[in-house]
């Protein structure tokens, strides 16, 4: 399973009403660290797709969701469970750090 692009219109259904865990990657096209993280996030989605749903929200085209959740810097990663944020990380990281963080929440 790969990551899914989500916008403000489907954020509620894809993230808040989703069964199980959802990791949200808040990003922007102009953000260098976001571009670096994007393939790592996609790899993670492929490897852990059975355990966690991975979605990406472009903050420029969908500003409501990041504003609602207090996103101040990007990339920001949030893990949701049953519609609630259970953990957040801000900034770029290596693939092993990303994987370890997600595993720690599973």
Catalytic residue among 22, 31, 59, 102: 31
Using CA atoms, how far apart are residues 9 and 47, in angstroms rounded to an integer?
A: 27
Q: What's the chain's Rg over C-alpha atoms? A: 12
Determine contact, residues 82/33, Cβ cutoff 8 Å: no
Whether 2 is a known active-site residue: answer no
Catalytic residue among 6, 15, 24, 34: 34
Determine contact, residues 28/59, Cβ cutoff 8 Å: yes
Whether 22 is a known active-site residue: answer no
Residues annotated as catalytic are 31, 34
């Amino acid at each position: 399973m790969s990551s899914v692009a989500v916008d403000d219109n489907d954020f509620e259904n894809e993230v808040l009403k989703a069964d199980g865990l959802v990791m949200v990657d808040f990003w922007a096209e102009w953000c260098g660290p976001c571009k670096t993280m994007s393939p790592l996030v996609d790899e993670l989605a492929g490897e852990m797709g059975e355990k966690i749903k991975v979605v990406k929200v472009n903050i420029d085209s969908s500003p409501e969701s990041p504003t609602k959740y207090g996103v101040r810097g990007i990339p920001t990663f949030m893990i949701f469970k049953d519609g609630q944020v259970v953990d957040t990380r801000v900034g770029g990281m290596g693939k092993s750090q990303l994987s370890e963080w997600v595993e720690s929440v599973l």
